[in-house]
């Protein structure tokens, strides 16, 4: 078991809402419609609901495990499978969250290159973002949680502006409903894996919550909020674009900003992309905080040293990803690994943990 976390390093239960919501809403929300339409057409919104229900079930399993063991993922695996396996699982998740930060950062850089500055140097821009991330994470978990809180509210003005598409939308596009098979709908839910990743962070932040049992409801509310945002954007984009347009459009969410015309700005997508940095920032902060904390627990080194090393690796790998095909490969790889880590491993670990608890009690 890990050492108890000092009370002054913990955060209030309601902060779990902002931590989970801020890591789930990232670069994936800008392009998820394209992946859905390829499989399920305009029935993609049903796949979003299916994914949301599955995620809520997984969070219930996570909550059962963390409250039973009163610890994080390494404590749970150590209790159920042993100390050495817990280190292997911890190493896997350390690499997973490092890949998470690489994917988010590189996708954001690509978005800026395509829409604003084509010759933007990947290395130097990534370095600036990572220096900001280091500054935040060096402040400890409370600072990371604070960034999640402010990054939730500050960009919130963006989402109502998508309603500018409503006068030009045709909501009959959504008809007929259930025009695709159950298999296609579930495969569309699988395609949402990359966009909905991040809720597994509960397994690592649980010890840092004051009165963690009171934080459970905030985890569920965070998922409901995230799914609602995805549904909102999916319904608007499905009614605004044709299926052929969505399949060819890499960033449907960004493209919807093009219709916005305000008296003081003509190209609102520039403001939207700049503001999106506030949404991307907690994604990287939380993922690198988790990766560095796992390195501290596994290798018994200082978290700041681990963070510096992992950030250096992230910077190097991000700079090596040059082509669009490479960006897509990394994104798809993260989606597949995330699907295994969440939708396969967590249920297996839940049943093993409950069985181990029953056996040890007897």
d(CA 6, CA 12) in angstroms, rounded, equals 13
State residue 35's pLDDT score: 85
How far is the CA of 60 from the CAs of 121, 259, 347, in angstroms? 43, 40, 10
Residue 1 has pLDDT above 60, yes or no: no
User: What confidence tier does 2 reach under pLDDT thresholds 50, 70, 90?
Assistant: low
Q: CA gyration radius for the chain?
A: 20
Query: Could you read off the pLDDT of 151-198 as tens digits, one per residue?
Result: 998 888 888 888 888 888 888 888 888 888 888 898 988 888 778 888
* DSSP 8-state code for residue 155: G
Strand partners, 301: none
How does pLDDT run across 194-253, given as a tens digit for each residue? 788 889 999 999 999 988 888 889 999 999 999 999 999 999 999 998 888 888 888 888
Q: Decide: 132 and 322 in contact? Cβ < 8 Å.
A: no
pLDDT digits (tens, 9 = 90+) for 279-295: 899 999 999 999 999 99
Q: d(Cα 151, Cα 280) in Å, to the nearest integer?
A: 9
Other C-beta atoms within 10 Å of 253: how many? 23
pLDDT per position as a tens digit, 5-35: 888 889 999 999 999 999 998 888 888 888 8
How far is the C-alpha of 81 from the C-alpha of 223, rounded, in Å? 29
* Spatial CB neighbours of 134, under 8 Å, sequence gap ≥ 6: 307, 308, 311
Q: Determine contact, residues 216/17, Cβ cutoff 8 Å.
A: no
Residue 351: pLDDT over 90: yes
Kindly report the pTM of this predicted structure.
Answer: 0.93
CATH architecture of 25-346: Up-down Bundle (1.20)
**pLDDT tens, 22-81?**
999 888 888 888 888 888 889 989 999 999 999 999 999 999 999 888 889 999 999 988
Structure tokens at 231: 């549904």
The residue count for the chain = 362
Please tell me the distance from the alpha carbon of residue 210 to that of residue 236, in angstroms, as a whole number.
39
User: Counting beta carbons within 10 angstroms of the beta carbon of residue 195, is it exposed (0 to 12), middle (13 to 18) or buried (19 or more)?
Assistant: buried
What's the pLDDT score for residue 21? 92
């Amino acid at each position: 078991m890990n050492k108890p976390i000092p009370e002054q390093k913990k955060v209030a239960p309601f902060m779990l809402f902002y931590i989970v919501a801020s890591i789930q809403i990232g670069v994936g929300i800008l392009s998820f419609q394209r992946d859905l339409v390829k499989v399920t057409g305009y029935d993609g919104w049903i796949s979003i609901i299916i994914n949301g229900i599955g995620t809520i079930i997984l969070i219930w399993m996570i909550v059962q495990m963390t409250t039973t063991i009163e610890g994080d993922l390494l404590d749970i695996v150590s209790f159920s499978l042993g100390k050495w396996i817990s280190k292997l699982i911890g190493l896997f998740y350390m690499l997973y969250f490092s890949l998470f930060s690489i994917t988010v950062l590189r996708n954001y850089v690509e978005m800026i290159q395509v829409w604003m500055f084509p010759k933007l140097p990947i290395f130097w821009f990534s370095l600036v973002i990572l220096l900001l991330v280091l500054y935040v994470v060096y402040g400890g978990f409370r600072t990371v949680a604070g960034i999640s809180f402010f990054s939730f509210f500050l960009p919130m003005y963006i989402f109502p502006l998508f309603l500018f598409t409503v006068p030009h939308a045709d909501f009959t596009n959504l008809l007929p409903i259930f025009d695709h098979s159950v298999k296609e709908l579930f495969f569309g839910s699988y395609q949402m894996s990359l966009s909905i990743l991040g809720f597994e962070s509960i397994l690592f932040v649980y010890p840092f919550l004051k009165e963690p049992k009171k934080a459970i409801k905030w985890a569920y509310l965070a998922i409901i909020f995230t799914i609602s945002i995805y549904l909102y954007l999916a319904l608007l984009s499905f009614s605004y674009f044709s299926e052929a347009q969505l399949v060819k459009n890499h960033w449907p969410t960004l493209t919807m900003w093009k219709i916005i015309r305000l008296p003081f700005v003509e190209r609102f997508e520039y403001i939207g992309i700049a503001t999106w940095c506030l949404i991307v920032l907690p994604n990287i902060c939380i993922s690198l905080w988790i990766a560095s904390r796992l390195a501290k627990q596994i290798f018994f080194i200082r978290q700041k040293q681990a963070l510096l090393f992992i950030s250096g690796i992230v910077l190097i790998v991000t700079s090596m990803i040059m082509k669009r095909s490479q960006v897509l490969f990394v994104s798809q790889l993260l989606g597949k690994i995330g699907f295994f880590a969440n939708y396969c491993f967590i249920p297996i670990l839940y049943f093993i943990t409950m069985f181990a608890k029953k056996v040890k009690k007897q």
